[in-house]
Chains A and B, each alone.
Chain A
Amino acid sequence: MPDSDPPSLRDLVRAGSTAQARFIADEATRLDLSDLAQAALPGLARFRGKIVLLAMPRQIDAATALVALDGAARRIVLCPHDLPRAGIDAVAAAAGAEIVVSQWPPGPGDLVGAQAADATHADGAGWGATEWVLFTSGTAGQPKMVVHTLNSLAGHLFGGAGSPAGPIWCTFYDIRRYGGMQILLRAMIGAGSLVLSCPDESPGAFLARAAGAGATHFLGTPSHWRRALMTEAADLIAPAYVRLSGEVADQGILNKLRERYPAARIVHAFASTEAGLAFEVTDGEAGFPASLVGEAGGASIRIEAHSLRVRSPRNAIGYLDGGISAIPDAEGYVDTGDIVVLRDERYYFAGRRDGTVNVGGQKVHPEEVEAVINQHPAVEMSRVTARASPITGALVVADIVFRTGGSGPGAVPARATQAEIRDFCRARLAPHKVPAAIRVVPSLEIAASGKLVRMRA
Chain B
Amino acid sequence: MMQVRSKVESTILEVAAEHNKSLPQLTDDLPLMESGLDSLCLAVVVARLEDGLGVDPFSAAEGVALPVTIGDFVKLYENAGQ
> Is A259 in contact with chain B by the CB < 8 A criterion?
yes
> Is B1 in contact with chain A by the CB < 8 A criterion?
no
Q: Which of B19-67 contact A (CB under 8 A)?
A: 19, 31-34, 39-40, 42-44, 46-48, 51, 56, 58-59, 62-63, 66-67
Using Cβ atoms and an 8 Å threshold, which residues of chain B touch A388? 59
Of A202, A389, A432, chain B has the most CB atoms within 10 Å of the CB of A389
Do B31 and A431 have beta carbons less than 8 Å apart? no
Using Cβ atoms and an 8 Å threshold, which residues of chain A touch B47? 387, 389, 395, 436-437
Q: Determine the interface band of chain B, counting residues with CB < 8 A from chain A.
A: 20 to 34
> Is A113 in contact with chain B by the CB < 8 A criterion?
no
Scoring A residues 186 to 214 as 1 if CB is less than 8 Å from chain B, else 0, what string do you get? 00000000000000001110000000000
Do B58 and A391 have beta carbons less than 8 Å apart? yes
Chain A residue at minimal CB-CB distance from B46: A391
> Is A252 in contact with chain B by the CB < 8 A criterion?
yes
Contact A389:B34 (CB < 8 A) given known A231-B68, A426-B18, A431-B19:
no
Scoring A residues 426 to 444 as 1 if CB is less than 8 Å from chain B, else 0, what string do you get? 1000011000110000000
Interface majority SS (helix, strand, loop, mixed), chain B:
helix
Contact A359:B40 (CB < 8 A) given known A204-B33, A229-B66, A389-B46:
yes
Using Cβ atoms and an 8 Å threshold, which residues of chain A touch B31? 204, 231-232
Chain B residue at minimal CB-CB distance from A361: B39
> Is A58 in contact with chain B by the CB < 8 A criterion?
no
Do A395 and B68 have beta carbons less than 8 Å apart? no
Do B34 and A202 have beta carbons less than 8 Å apart? yes
Kindly state the separation between the CA atoms of A10 and B50 in the bound complex, as whole angstroms.
Answer: 52
> Is A227 in contact with chain B by the CB < 8 A criterion?
yes
Do A227 and B33 have beta carbons less than 8 Å apart? yes
> Is A392 in contact with chain B by the CB < 8 A criterion?
yes
Contact A431:B33 (CB < 8 A) given known A230-B66, A255-B62:
no
Kindly state the separation between the CA atoms of A256 and B39 in the bound complex, as whole angstroms.
Answer: 17
Contact A436:B44 (CB < 8 A) given known A227-B33, A232-B31:
yes
Do A360 and B43 have beta carbons less than 8 Å apart? yes
Kindly state the separation between the CA atoms of A72 and B44 in the bound complex, as whole angstroms.
Answer: 47
Kindly state the separation between the CA atoms of A275 and B43 in the bound complex, as whole angstroms.
Answer: 30
Chain B residue at minimal CB-CB distance from A362: B40
Do B32 and A436 have beta carbons less than 8 Å apart? no
Do B44 and A360 have beta carbons less than 8 Å apart? no
Do A437 and B48 have beta carbons less than 8 Å apart? yes
Scoring A residues 249 to 275 as 1 if CB is less than 8 Å from chain B, else 0, what string do you get? 000100110010000000000000000
Do B33 and A252 have beta carbons less than 8 Å apart? no
Scoring A residues 345 to 370 as 1 if CB is less than 8 Å from chain B, else 0, what string do you get? 00000000000000110000000000
Kindly state the separation between the CA atoms of A122 and B43 in the bound complex, as whole angstroms.
Answer: 52
Contact A226:B66 (CB < 8 A) given known A392-B39, A392-B40, A437-B47:
yes
Partner of B43, one of A204, A255, A259, A389: A389
Kindly state the separation between the CA atoms of A385 and B68 in the bound complex, as whole angstroms.
Answer: 30
Using Cβ atoms and an 8 Å threshold, which residues of chain B touch A259? 63
Chain B residue at minimal CB-CB distance from A235: B68
> Is A143 in contact with chain B by the CB < 8 A criterion?
no
Do A392 and B19 have beta carbons less than 8 Å apart? no
User: B26 to nearest A CB, angstroms?
Assistant: 16
B contact set with A: CB distance below 8 Å? 18-19, 31-34, 39-40, 42-44, 46-48, 51, 56, 58-59, 62-63, 66-68
Besides A431-B19, A437-B51, 17 other A-B contacts (C-beta < 8 A): A202-B34, A226-B66, A230-B67, A231-B33, A255-B62, A359-B43, A360-B39, A387-B47, A389-B46, A390-B43, A390-B59, A391-B39, A391-B46, A395-B44, A426-B18, A436-B47, A437-B47
Interchain Cβ contacts under 8 Å between A and B, 7 examples: A203-B33, A223-B39, A230-B66, A252-B59, A359-B40, A390-B56, A391-B46
Query: Lowest 3 A-B CB distances belong to which pairs?
Result: A390-B58, A391-B43, A392-B43
